[in-house]
Structure 1
Amino acid sequence: MTSPLPGPATDPVADLSALLGELAGDHQADPPPATSKPAGDEPVYRNVEAFVGDYLAHVVERRLASGPTSGLNWCPRWWAHPEAISRLYALWRAWETLRVSDPQTGMSIWWRDHLDPHLAALAAEYGPFSRCDPTKHTEPRPLPVELAPPEVLAQLPDATGT
Structure 2
Amino acid sequence: MINPGADPSVLPGRPARAATGSSSIPPVPNTHGPKPDDPKPVFSNIDAFVRGYLTQVVERRIAVGATAGLYWCPRWWAHPEGISRLYCLWRVWETLRVSDPQTGMSLWWRDHFDPHFAALTSEVGPFSRCRPDRHVDPQPLPSEPAPPEILAQFYDGG
Smaller-chain TM-score bracket: 0.7 to 0.9
Q: Is the 8 A contact 1:40 1:100 kept in 2?
A: no
TM (norm. structure 2) is 0.74
What SS does the aligned partner of 1:90 have?
helix
- Write out the 4+ residue segments of structure 1 that deviate beyond 3 Å after TM superposition: none
Which residue of structure 1 aligns with residue 8 of structure 2? none
More helix by percentage: 1
Q: Distance in 2 between matches of 1:148 and 1:106?
A: 40
Q: Which has the higher contact order (CA 8 A, sep 6+)?
A: 2
Query: 1:60-105, CA deviations, whole angstroms, 9 ceiling, x for partnerless residues?
Result: 0001111111111000100000000000000000100010011111
Alignment of 1:2-151 (within 5 A): 41-151=39-149
Tell me the C-alpha RMSD between the 2 structures: 1.4
Structure 2, unmatched stretches of 5+, are 1-36
Structure 1, unmatched stretches of 5+, are 1-38
Query: 1:95-125, CA deviations, whole angstroms, 9 ceiling, x for partnerless residues?
Result: 0001001111111111111111110000111
- The count of corresponding residues between Structure 1 and Structure 2 is 122
Larger Rg: 1
Q: Distance in 1 between matches of 2:153 and 2:41?
A: 43
Q: Distance in 1 between matches of 2:136 and 2:104?
A: 35
1:40, CA displacement in angstroms? 7.5
TM (norm. structure 1) is 0.72
What SS does the aligned partner of 2:145 have?
coil
